[in-house]
Structure 1
């Protein structure tokens, strides 16, 4: 197929020899199958901020460190340079997360290089050597649903023990290769200790898994693994091997209204920054 414009610099630099086909397109990026010498890999081409449908970047970037104070000030002001720095940081966050999680034993694709807004990484395949399907495209029995749910809960725990929360986990960003579920799409992953919304995101990720697998395994409906996992983490009692029950004691403390308001304000700030960006693009 014709080489996409964003991948052309990688071809010119000898990092990619040939673009074979488009694999998938999502709210954050378009993924292509490419040939790199004798290897077949994926090239993830990130979409521009104005084209992304992911609207809450401010919520996810809270707590992330920038290289220097100049970049931090530029990002805060929303200047052209600041937006460029923010885009680079958003893309590099996935590369950093992939390396960090892989070293912690989490099943994620192997990253190779991120260049000019394109991430080269491992192509996951099924038992027949075909590109691994998304979880929502896999035929599911009750037994398989329980098995995959248990495996993915363990991956979520491993991620949290490594200090990270996916933040957007669902059946659409989990692939199933020859060995089972693999977690993908991590540019929005958050630092569990530095982001005040991490607990909410963790519970939402786990609730998404419960909702999906609960369609096939009704016994999962009503479980509270998300609250249990986050509670153990906050208490400093979570390890990769901590047994989980899916049950928690009833919460009697008042709702954290300030925390909810902080999240609402972060969303408002992100939308305002997006409006400014679009206005600058039009001017």
Structure 2
């Protein structure tokens, strides 16, 4: 096929030899199967901001690091340079997350490089060497649904132990190779420690999995793995391979409002004492 314009620089640099075919087109990118020497890989070509259906909501980008204060100011003002920096940050977020997760043992495609808005990475294949299908395209038995669900819960835990929340996890961005689910599409990945929305998004990711697999294994609909995982993370107790129940105990004890008010009053008095001491020092 004709080489897409965005992939031409990689061909000219000798990083890609041939574009074999288009694999898929999604809300944020178009993916092509390419040949790199003796290897067959995939090239993810990110769409321009005005062509994407998935927009960079503040809830996703909160806490992302930029190189310097000039870039941060430009991005905040929405200048031309700032928009360019936003695009670069959006694209490199996936590369950074892929390397981080691959090193943590999470089942994600191996990234190779990102150049001019094109991410070159491993082509995930099935047992026959063909491009792996998406989870929503395979037929599940109840036993297989339970097994894949358990495997993905383990992956979510591994991801969070590495400090990452997917943020848009569903059956549409999970591939299935010969060994099970592989998680893809991470440009909206969230830094769990730096983003105030991380807990809500992790729970939503896990609920999406439960909703999908419950179509085949109905008992999964009532599980609360998301809340359980996040609770363990906040307590500093989350570990890879830990036993999870899918249930969360609700604390029915009444809130001690009096104790809270006393704490507030104590803090208020401490602040008054501090200000009074400062005034005395000035005089």
What range describes the TM-score normalised by the shorter chain of this pair?
A: 0.7 to 0.9
Deviation at 1:142, TM superposition (A): 0.2
SS at match of 2:175: strand
SS at match of 1:76: helix
SS at match of 2:187: coil
Residues 251 and 208 of structure 1: CA distance in aligned 2, closer, same or farther (over 3 Å):
farther
Structure 2: distance between partners of 1:27 and 1:103: 27
Deviation at 1:249, TM superposition (A): 1.6
SS at match of 1:181: strand
Tell me if structure 1 keeps the 8 A contact 2:111–2:122: yes
The ranges of structure 1 where at least 4 consecutive aligned residues each deviate by more than 6 angstroms after the TM superposition are: none
Tell me if structure 2 keeps the 8 A contact 1:113–1:120: yes
Alignment of 1:228-247 (within 5 A): 228-247=228-247
Tell me if structure 2 keeps the 8 A contact 1:165–1:192: yes
What is the match of residue 214 of structure 1?
A: 214
What is the match of residue 24 of structure 1?
A: 24
What is the match of residue 279 of structure 1?
A: none
Deviation sequence 1:117-147 (CA, Å, 0-9, x none): 0000000100011100000011100000000
Please tell me whether Structure 1 or Structure 2 has the larger radius of gyration of its CA atoms: 2
TM-score (structure 1 length as normaliser): 0.88
Structure 1: distance between partners of 2:223 and 2:250: 13
Residues 234 and 116 of structure 1: CA distance in aligned 2, closer, same or farther (over 3 Å):
same
Tell me if structure 1 keeps the 8 A contact 2:49–2:55: no
Tell me if structure 2 keeps the 8 A contact 1:57–1:188: no
Structure 2: distance between partners of 1:136 and 1:251: 37
Alignment of 1:1-283 (within 5 A): 1-250=1-250
Deviation at 1:56, TM superposition (A): 4.4
Structure 1: distance between partners of 2:221 and 2:185: 26
The alignment yields a C-alpha RMSD, in angstroms, of 1.2
SS at match of 1:125: coil
Tell me if structure 2 keeps the 8 A contact 1:165–1:202: yes
Tell me if structure 2 keeps the 8 A contact 1:203–1:226: yes
TM-score (structure 2 length as normaliser): 0.88
Name structure 1 gaps, 5 residues minimum: 255-283
Deviation at 1:111, TM superposition (A): 0.4
SS at match of 2:64: coil
Tell me if structure 2 keeps the 8 A contact 1:104–1:158: yes
Deviation at 1:241, TM superposition (A): 1.9
